Amino acid sequence: MENKKELRTWLDSHKLPHPLVIAGPCSAETEDQVLKVAHGLKDTDVTYFRAGIWKPRTRPGNFEGVGAIGLKWLQRAKQETGLLTATEVANKAHVDLALEHDIDLLWIGARSTVSPFIVQEIADALKGTDKVVLVKNPVNPDLALWLGAIERLHTANIDKLGVIHRGFSTYEKTKYRNIPEWQLAVELQDKFPDLPLICDPSHITGKRDMILDVSQTALDLNFDGLMIETHIDPDNAWSDAAQQVTPESLIQIMQDLRIRKETSQEEEYKISLSNLRAQIDVVDNQLLDLMGKRMKVADSIGALKKERNVAVLQSKRWNEILGKMILEGHDRGLSEEFILRMFKAIHQESINHQEKIIKA
């Protein structure tokens, strides 16, 4: 996709609201549940009513969705409320059934995005349709896989494309179910500014009480919309109970969110912003200078270890540094998560420098 403008923004062309809101239960459980949630979202800011029909599970035995019968429930919900419908598809059979039931928006899940074979099968099945298709980020933070899925769909002449940022899996224990890794979503947005970017705070947080905060962060980063899982009785949901909100809670979240302007034309604002950015540029250059000096010290350490035949990795020393930096970072208003990421990257670069010296 060398020409970014080929990605026509269907949000703008259809005059859809900003932010676009996609909401509904993680799973369609019963017809009554689907209809009650849909009616709870009628006459709100929600445009697309979502419900999982097929639920991919890590291990067998868990609830894997009601299957095709749920598509009829979505059809009825659309007829009764006027809401457009959306569901996840993971293979050609899902696509065919979704098209047969005139589902308006289809999305490819994180586990499917990791497989070019699955994405290609879905792209081939959708070829020639006029449906909106969204692609969730892959499970792991791999921007190339995410872009590759979009490219396969675009090659199949599917123009109404967008992406969903639902966070990334990690072995580290954090406050998130899936770490946001906002910089990857921002990088994708920088590469393809005409590609609508939707945030899925439900899957990023895994906890309903964090959804407002993550949704606000997404809007502050100029995301185009939100996908929020909504259920009439979240605590007793058949899947992902902890991350779903009631329709009433969703309405309150939407009222509490602050919609930011993309920019301001006020002269005072532009001058102040320019001055602050100039300060950032100076500090960034100082940081690079300091990192360069640090790596020169690492080179000297590598030379000393080579001379004395000492191993590169010194775990005790590393753990001492990390603990100290977390404490000192906290005193400077820096989060533990940021300190861990930054110093792990610095440590890895130092190891690379030392290994290069030892192997020379």
- What is the helix (H) or strand (E) element at residue 108, kind and residue range? strand 105-108
**CATH label of the domain that carries residue 284:** 1.20.59.10
Lowest mean pLDDT among 55-59, 64-68, 215-219, 343-347: 55-59
Residues 313 and 351 reside in one and the same domain = yes
Sequential DSSP letters for 15-59: T--SSEEEEE-SB---HHHHHHHHHHHTTSS--EEE-BSS---SS
Measured CA to CA, the distance from residue 108 to residue 62 in angstroms comes to: 21
Same domain (yes/no): 312, 240: no
Helical (H) or strand (E) element with 197? strand 197-199
**Containing structural domain, residue 275:** 267-359
Residue 262 within a domain: no
Predicted structure pTM score: 0.80
Specify whether 198 is located in the same domain as 309.
no
- What does the pLDDT look like over 257-310, one tens digit per residue? 988 776 778 888 888 888 888 899 889 999 999 999 999 999 999 999 999 999
Per-residue confidence (pLDDT) for residue 8, from 0 to 100: 53
How do residues 89-121 score in pLDDT, each as one tens digit? 999 999 999 999 999 999 999 999 999 999 999
Helices (H), the chain: 10-13, 31-41, 69-81, 92-100, 110-113, 116-126, 143-155, 182-191, 201-205, 211-220, 247-256, 267-308, 315-331, 336-359
Rounded Cα–Cα distance for residues 348 and 344 (Å): 6
pLDDT computed for residue 3 by the predictor: 41
- Residue 126 pLDDT > 90: yes
Closest by CA position to 313, among listed 347, 341, 343, 340:
347
Query: Omega of the bond prior to 247 within 30 degrees of 0, cis?
Result: no
Residues 151 and 56 in one domain: yes
pLDDT at residue 7 greater than cutoff 60: no
Q: Is residue 154 domain-shared with residue 289, that is, in the same domain?
A: no
Q: For 134-146, what is the mean pLDDT?
A: 95
- Residue 345 CA to residue 337 CA, distance in Å, equals 13
Residues 293 and 252 in one domain: no
Asked if residue 201 and residue 56 are part of one domain, the reply reads yes
* Strand partners for 105: 86, 132
pLDDT in tens, 34-88: 999 999 999 999 999 999 999 876 667 677 889 999 999 999 999 999 999 999 9
Average pLDDT, the chain: 91
Single residue among 237, 256, 275 that ends a domain in this structure = 256
pLDDT value of residue 171: 76
User: Which of 131 and 266 is assigned the larger pLDDT?
Assistant: 131
Q: Residue 106 — φ and ψ, nearest 5°?
A: -120, 140
Identify whether residues 227 and 283 lie together within a single domain: no
Paired tokens of 96: 């065919």
